[in-house]
Every structure is written in structure tokens, then in C-alpha cells.
Amino acid sequence: MQDIISKLLDDNISTLDRIFTDSPDIKRQKFLLKDDTPVLLVYLEGMVNTDLLQTDIMPNLLQSSSDTIINDTQRTVNLPVANSVITESLDKVKTYILSGWPAIFINGYDSVISINMTKLEKRSISEPTIEKNVKGAQEAFVEAISTNMAILRRKIRNERLKFKMITLGETTNQSVAIAYIDGLANPEILEKMYDKINQIEYDGILAISYIEQLIADHQVTPLPHYLATERPDKAVANLLEGKLVILLDGTPFVMIAPVSFFSFFQAPDDYFGVWIVHSLNRLLRILALIIALFLPAMYIAIVSYHYYMIPLNLLIPLAESRARVPFPPIIEVLILETTLEMLREATIRLPTFIGTSIGVVGGLIIGQAAVDAGVVSNIIIIVVAITAIASFLIPNYDMALGIRYTRFIVMFFASIFGIIGVVICGLFLLAHVSVLESMGEPYFKPMFPFNRNDFKDILLRPSLAKLRKRPSTATPLDKTRGGNDGQQSK
């Protein structure tokens, strides 16, 4: 039997029995209308508001005749619902049923009424758990895409906020929305993003990072191509710069594209206070990036090959401390760095009240015991601790993770070539980020290619009065903030 909608209700029942085999949550109820026309109601238990179904829909169906319920000519439905559709496609009917839309099959009609009575159990809007801030809004995205779209609508009360919808996952059939502001977002980038996502062939998209990995311009890199965030205010700020925000049903994070390398070192708090103070915070994060990447490698290089660079007052206690250590500097650093990464991973996987204790107590006990046992020296404990603190200053988790593991490569080269190895790694990393792209846009913009207007909001944070030009990262159509919104700048 073909999967088509038949005018005979019994044929449709047979088709549904075959499609929804071993599906006890698919509920079916057969009854007669006022004119004795057989009707079948099909819905998914747990995703439908059964109270409204019983009080509003069923009584109206029982008191109506088939010709008054559905009008095939005018494509109208006479039922007390705000949203309903008439479809002749069985594939669409299946999708509607599995999305929580009850389907009404009427004998004598080869079309089906689907009504929106979805009721999903969802998490309420809560505070951000990863991206903390002091003065900004204390709300985060949730798993329901409809709620996340409503959050963006509430913050941007303008009809120019648009959403392009895509269905992904050959098995899961999840909804994806590309949010953009019409008149700001570049149509070429929008079309490119839509095509890339629409071409994804995968059975299930479990997180927004799946999309990031599947559409990445460069697959071999430890650095993230796109910016993931749980903060609506951060998403809105990027929408106002002409960027795209990708929302995925079932995940509380959204993805922002295109972005530059420096976007991962900016936090919402940067724009919520005095610009002088927060400019210093920006510089502090850049310093933290350098420390997190190169400090352990510099320790290895100096102790192994360039000890004459160490002041004599520091060299003597360092030599005394290392005299008891049986390992070369690279092994010494690897022992502590690996242990620290294991502790970090353990604190993430363990329950909060246990993870905190393990992180603090484990770090103190292991560090002190390692020094007393002569496995590592005193100064390396300080070096690794400063490096760990510096990595925590990077606002974005994905970028911080990439920097942490890139550090091991730099350490390896430093153990072989000394400071020359550190310099080689630094130049290689600089060249690597210079050739990366995010949705076809240069990843290391505005450094390469250099853009004077964008550069002033990279290392420092100028006053808002001086930020009248939008960044060119997403090549927005309207380059001026305010006044000319919706009109392409000449």
C-alpha cells in the first residue's frame, strides 16, 4: 500500500498502523460527526495539550458535520484554534503529528486537518551558567527554539528581524532558524550560510556545535570558526552588527557568524561600564592569551637552553630546587599540565558540590606532594598556576580549550629548539589565523587585512560615542549605527 492519504478512512487507519508500529504514545480515537461521518483523531501523547483537546476540539467536532468543518475549496477550517493547516501530503502529516500537532482524518476527504495544540515540558529561562557578567541581563537561552525566538523578538521589536527556517537531521527532523536583521545582514553571507546548513546530511544534530563542525571552512584547526553563546544580549549585539545568529531546537546555545579571532576575547561587560577601565580589561585578556600560550614553553626553553638569561639571584634557588628533580623540564611541565587538565575535566564531569572540592583540594595536595617528593620543582608550580589562571580569563570556552591544547605543541617545540622553537610556533600560529576564514570572511580581521575603524575596538574599548561605525567583520549593508538603519550606506 502506498503512503498516500485516501478518501477511505479505513485505508488511512491501515497506513497509520503500518507507519506507527510499536508507537504506544501515538494515540488514536475514532468517532462519528453529527452527520454520522467517521472521523479519526491522531495525536502524540505528552506533546499535546489534552485538556484543550477535550474541552474545545472534541465537543465542536461532535456537534459539526463534515462539510462545515473543512472547506477544501477555500482551504479553511471551522474549529476554535488559532493555527491550523490543511494538507494532502502524508509526509507532512507525519511531521505534524510527531511535532505535537493533532491530525483529523475525515472519511470522504483526501486531505487532513492538523491543528497546533503543542504543549511541551521545557526549562524556564534561567541565569547564564557559563558566561557570567556583572551588570548585564541575567537570562540565558533555553532548549525550545520557539522560546529563544521569542526572547530575540522581545529584545528587537522590529519587523526587520527575520528568521529563515531549515529542517535538519534525517532521523530527528530538528528545526534550525537563521536569525538576521533585514537591511543590515549581507544577503550574500546569508545565502551562503543557508546553503551550507541546508546541504548538511546527518541523521541527528544534537548540539549547535555539530553545525559548526559540519560547515567549517577549515577542518584542521584547534580554533573555533564561529562564536557560540548562551546569552541573548550577546546575540542581539551581534545581530545589530549585521551578523547571523543560528538557533537549533533542543540546545540552549546559539551560533554567531561570521566572527573574527578577536570576537572571542570580548565580553558583554566591556560595554556596560567606563571605557577606560574596560579597555584595561581587554589588554589584560590579550596578556592572558600570551601567557596561556607561551609561559610554560618559555620556562622549558630558558631552563633547558638559555639559563644564562635568568638573574643570578633567581638562578641559584632555581638550581637548588631542580637539583632534586630527576626529569628534564619538558617532562616536569607535562606531568603538572596533564594532571591539571585531568583535574579540570574531573570537576566538569562530577556533581557541583563534589567537583569544587576535588578541584581545590586535589590541586593543593597534588602540587605540594609533588614538590615534597622531588617530582617537580617549586617554580614550576607557580608557572603552571599562573598559566591556568590566564587561560580562565579567556571569555569563550571553545577558544580557551583550543589555546590550552595548542600550548602543548608550543612546549614540545620549545623542548627541542629552545626560544627559537617558541618563535617558530608563534609565527606559525600567526600565519595560521591569518589564512583562516569564517563564512568566507578573514578570521584575523581587522589585523589582516588591516581596518583602522575596526582596530580601535580590538585592543582597547573606546567610548560609545566613538563607536558610530559598525564593524566590517560581517560586511553589513548599513555601516552606521542609528539614523540610517535599513538603508545601505554609500
User: Does 445 score more than 50 pLDDT?
Assistant: yes
Q: Which of 149, 158, 129, 122 is nearest to 232 (CA)?
A: 149
Q: Which of 59, 109, 103 is nearest to 84 (CA)?
A: 103
485 contacts 478 by C-beta, under 8 angstroms: yes
Question: Please, what's the b/e burial string for 353-392 (b: 16 or more CB within 10 A of its CB; e: otherwise)?
Answer: eebeeebeebbeebbeebbeeebbbeebbebbeebbebbe
DSSP string, 402-444: HHHHHHHHHHHHHHHHTHHHHHHHHHHHHHHHHH-EETTEETT
| Residue type (1 letter), 316 | I
Task: Give the Cα separation of 464 and 266 in Å (integer).
Answer: 15
Give me the helices (H) in 46-100, please. 50-52, 58-62, 66-69, 90-98
76 contacts 66 by C-beta, under 8 angstroms: no
What would the mean pLDDT of 180-201 be, rounded to a whole number? Answer: 95
User: 295 vs 217, which has greater pLDDT?
Assistant: 295
What is the β-pairing status of strands 84-87 and 441-442? unpaired
pLDDT in tens, 372-385: 788 888 888 889 98
pLDDT in tens, 206-254: 999 999 999 998 888 999 999 999 999 999 999 999 999 999 999 999 9
Q: Which of 329, 297, 305 is nearest to 409 (CA)?
A: 297
Q: Measuring CA to CA, how many Å separate 415 from each of 299, 335, 419, 435, 482?
A: 10, 14, 9, 27, 53
- Cα four-point dihedral sign 134, 400, 414, 362: positive
User: Does 447 score more than 80 pLDDT?
Assistant: yes
Q: Measuring CA to CA, how many Å separate 12 from each of 1, 6, 7, 23?
A: 10, 6, 8, 16
User: Does 485 score more than 90 pLDDT?
Assistant: no
The reported pTM is: 0.85
Strands (E), 237-396: 244-248, 254-257
What would the mean pLDDT of 28-43 be, rounded to a whole number? Answer: 91
The whole-number pLDDT of residue 170 equals: 83
What residue spans define the domains of the chain?
A: 9-115, 145-258, 272-442
What is the rounded average pLDDT for all residues in the chain?
A: 88
12 contacts 26 by C-beta, under 8 angstroms: no
pLDDT grade, residue 72 (50/70/90)?
low
Residue that the C-alpha cell 488511512 belongs to: 12
336 contacts 384 by C-beta, under 8 angstroms: yes
Q: Specify the DSSP class assigned to residue 57.
A: I
| Residue type (1 letter), 374 | G
The whole-number pLDDT of residue 360 equals: 63
What would the mean pLDDT of 132-153 be, rounded to a whole number? Answer: 89
pLDDT in tens, 301-355: 999 998 888 888 888 888 888 888 888 999 999 988 988 888 888 877 777 666 6
Would you state the cell numbers that stand for residue 28, as one nine-digit string? 488514536
- CA end-to-end distance (rounded Å), the chain: 61
Task: Give the Cα separation of 183 and 163 in Å (integer).
Answer: 14
Task: Give the Cα separation of 71 and 78 in Å (integer).
Answer: 8
The whole-number pLDDT of residue 357 equals: 62
The whole-number pLDDT of residue 46 equals: 86
**CA torsion angle 165 168 172 174 (round to 10):** -20
294 contacts 404 by C-beta, under 8 angstroms: no
Task: Give the Cα separation of 411 and 329 in Å (integer).
Answer: 10
Rg of the chain taking only CA atoms, in angstroms: 29
Picking from 22-26, 122-126, 445-449, which range would have the lowest pLDDT averaged per residue? 122-126
Would you state the cell numbers that stand for residue 400, as one nine-digit string? 580557551
